[in-house]
Amino acid sequence: MAGTEAGRWRDLGAYRARGLPGWVALAEGLDRMVTGIESPVDTARGLAARLRYLTASDAGYEAMDRAGIHVRPRTLIAWLAEEQTPSKANLARLDAAYWQLRRRNTVADLKRRLNNRGRGTRIEIDPVDQSQVERRHQRDLQTRSINVRGGVWDRAVDAWIDGNTDELDAIWDEIISSGLGTDWDAYTHVSSVGWAA
């Protein structure tokens, strides 16, 4: 496997290892914690539920605006009354606005669950997939489990909701360097990160 430089894989795929940056896996784990409407946006039920959720508050209208939904009030009323169906592009925008608002509305709950009254949450880190790497180039990597606490979750959730990838990357480095000891740099890229909270 490629060597590391400043705690980073120099060339993750040089020997056909597969993985993703740890901060990406962390963000994906947070995404999985956000629940919502399961019916697709292009079904009557899914569309109606998203529209109800988005039009129930000023924050919903702001989310639609950020997503690029700029229609006349009568068009929105026709969508709500199921008299008119949004275009494919607007369906995609409505879905994006819905999930963005769901994420924003779950921030406090995510922090509470992950901080677990100060006890934190234990995460499991699966190392990069080396199944396609020649034996002589493989590194001895194991699935690792560490407890994350001390305000790290608050910062991680804030960075995730703000889309601050640099901060998420810095937080991931902090998590692995403080929790994994000297071999932390082998986990800058991972197959996955999971937890139950």
Q: pLDDT, tens digit, for every residue of 92-147?
A: 999 999 999 999 999 999 999 999 999 999 999 998 777 777 787 777 788 899 99
Residue 37 token pair: 């409407």
pLDDT of residue 11: 59
Residue 53: other Cβ atoms inside 10 A: 19
The answer to whether residue 76 scores a pLDDT higher than 70 is: yes
Q: 3-state DSSP call for residue 174?
A: helix
The answer to whether residue 48 scores a pLDDT higher than 70 is: yes
Confidence category of residue 186, pLDDT binned at 50, 70, 90: confident
Q: 3-state DSSP call for residue 10?
A: coil
Region 35-61: what's the mean pLDDT? 96
Closest to 4 in 3D by CA, of 144, 155, 128: 128
Q: Which amino acid is at 115?
A: N
Domain boundaries, the chain: 7-34+109-195, 44-105
pTM, rounded to two decimals: 0.82
Beta bridge partners of 194: 124
Q: pLDDT, tens digit, for every residue of 3-41?
A: 333 344 455 566 677 888 999 999 999 999 999 999 999
As a whole number, the mean pLDDT across the chain is 89
Instruction: Count CA atoms within 13 Å of residue 168 on its CB side.
Output: 19
Closest to 188 in 3D by CA, of 31, 29, 32, 26: 26
The answer to whether residue 193 scores a pLDDT higher than 50 is: yes
The answer to whether residue 157 scores a pLDDT higher than 70 is: yes
Percent of the chain residues topping a pLDDT of 70 = 91
pLDDT of residue 10: 52
